[in-house]
Structure 1
């Protein structure tokens, strides 16, 4: 079938276009404008966690850890967006909207599949911090500075650390993005196990690699810019991206 590929129990299109990303963003913006209270609620949790992390690292004299922590923070964004997928799903289906239904999306379809994906993401975040700690240890020793000093990033060792850490972090982020870009919306939408959802997500990336990579870059840039003003930009960016991801999933998985 032209433009489609059978993957696991579903059919995935292989003809995504850049115009589909624009359409998904427009639909995501409409969802956010229609039900902003849900988007602001979930984004506020994420922003509060980011601000707490920022304050805590400075108080603990570990300011240099802010960069790797902030770099790994987006790994948790897909799980934070589960409620947003449910909002978009219910709006699309014309179902009544309620806090009970939206918050209940984390339970999935009476199973632990979404929770299992959440565990994977939190483990991924912890693993990234371990890797970042190893990279820090190597370059901190060379620089002679401690993690409490932001001057580290002005040294040769600090710049090299950012380059190496950025490359390693980007590869890890891309890998986890590939397994979540479709899987979490799918778990909200359908009664499938998380391994099947991951297989479909990977198949989606393989079948539409260029467009999906553009989407990944757009998400990364948007989240980075949104985190600069004390994470406050995420109050709008995170909900819009979350809703948009749902619509991209609906365009991709049949």
Structure 2
């Protein structure tokens, strides 16, 4: 059967070494991500397209439900789901790296199989943080703007950018949102590639990911900020930029994981 080779025995924290990460490593990982995208462009566009389509569906669903003021918070929070959606991209990079035959059947099979492993639990972690994001937006809306109804996205933008209450909501929401994004980045940047690659338990994977950020705070958080800026910029043309940006960043994250973590046999 066409599968990527991987360890059948889960690893433990004692087998994992977190390495120093430099700006040069980030550049090399990004270059490798671009290279992987060029080697399998159709696959990359497929997974990026699914992500972009999901964003469009969310926005139009909220608009059709007469809740236009939720469009922007949902759109801003949508990239939080990126790490889990990138699983398919990690599998492509793993296959390219090991020389394993690259086929739609093989990649999709590994994605389906991953639901039987610890990586499936990360979906709950990611979705839980996304739920917290949406809930805290609702909380700050109620505290700063009451239950005021907005007829359109334009009205909502005008209120939060031209009134004192709106600016207060924007400031607090940005700080809290940045904190949530940092938490999510810290627990997923290494954990999801590690879970796909070696299948440790989810706690070991998240601890390793957090340790990687703590050991390299400036470089890793700088990478997180770079990713966030690119994703937000890619969303501006109706999410269409994500079709290319997401696969490149997904492949790059896999190569960053390879540089940041060493797993002994």
TM-score of the superposed pair, with normalisation by structure 1: 0.92
Judge conservation of contact 2:117–2:199 (CA < 8 Å) in 1: no
- Corresponding residue pairs, total: 246
Tell me what 1:145 maps to. Answer: 148
**Distance in 1 between residues matched to 2:114 and 2:182, nearest whole Å:** 28
Judge conservation of contact 2:37–2:44 (CA < 8 Å) in 1: yes
Matching residue within 103, 106, 119 for 2:108: 103
Deviation digits for residues 143-201 of structure 1 (CA, Å, limit 9, x no counterpart): x7314442322322112211110110000110011000000000111031111110110
1:140-179 equivalence runs, <5 A? 140-141=145-146, 145-148=148-151, 149-150=155-156, 151-153=158-160, 154-179=162-187
Shift of 1:224: 0.6
Matched, 1:219 2:227: yes
Query: Judging changes above 3 Å, is the alpha-carbon distance between structure 1 residues 109 and 166 closer, same or farther for their aligned structure 2 residues?
Result: closer
Shift of 1:250: 0.4
Query: Judging changes above 3 Å, is the alpha-carbon distance between structure 1 residues 116 and 12 closer, same or farther for their aligned structure 2 residues?
Result: same
1:50-69 equivalence runs, <5 A? 50-69=55-74
Judge conservation of contact 1:64–1:147 (CA < 8 Å) in 2: yes
**Distance in 2 between residues matched to 1:92 and 1:145, nearest whole Å:** 53
Judge conservation of contact 2:13–2:204 (CA < 8 Å) in 1: no
Q: Which has the higher contact order (CA 8 A, sep 6+)?
A: 2
Matched, 1:49 2:54: yes
Tell me what 1:88 maps to. Answer: 93
**Distance in 1 between residues matched to 2:222 and 2:110, nearest whole Å:** 28
Matched, 1:38 2:46: no
1:22-33 equivalence runs, <5 A? 22-33=27-38
**Distance in 2 between residues matched to 1:129 and 1:13, nearest whole Å:** 35
Q: State the secondary structure of the residue aligned to 2:17.
A: strand
**Structure 2, unpaired ranges of 5+:** 1-11
Shift of 1:110: 7.5
Shift of 1:8: 4.0
Judge conservation of contact 1:187–1:194 (CA < 8 Å) in 2: yes
Judge conservation of contact 2:119–2:199 (CA < 8 Å) in 1: no
Tell me what 1:10 maps to. Answer: 16
Matched, 1:181 2:184: no
Judge conservation of contact 1:185–1:246 (CA < 8 Å) in 2: yes
Matched, 1:72 2:77: yes
**Structure 1, unpaired ranges of 5+:** 1-5
Judge conservation of contact 1:85–1:242 (CA < 8 Å) in 2: yes
Judge conservation of contact 2:90–2:250 (CA < 8 Å) in 1: yes
Judge conservation of contact 1:113–1:187 (CA < 8 Å) in 2: yes
C-alpha root-mean-square deviation of aligned residues, in Å? Answer: 1.7
With 173-182 and 64-73 compared, the bigger mean Cα shift is at 64-73
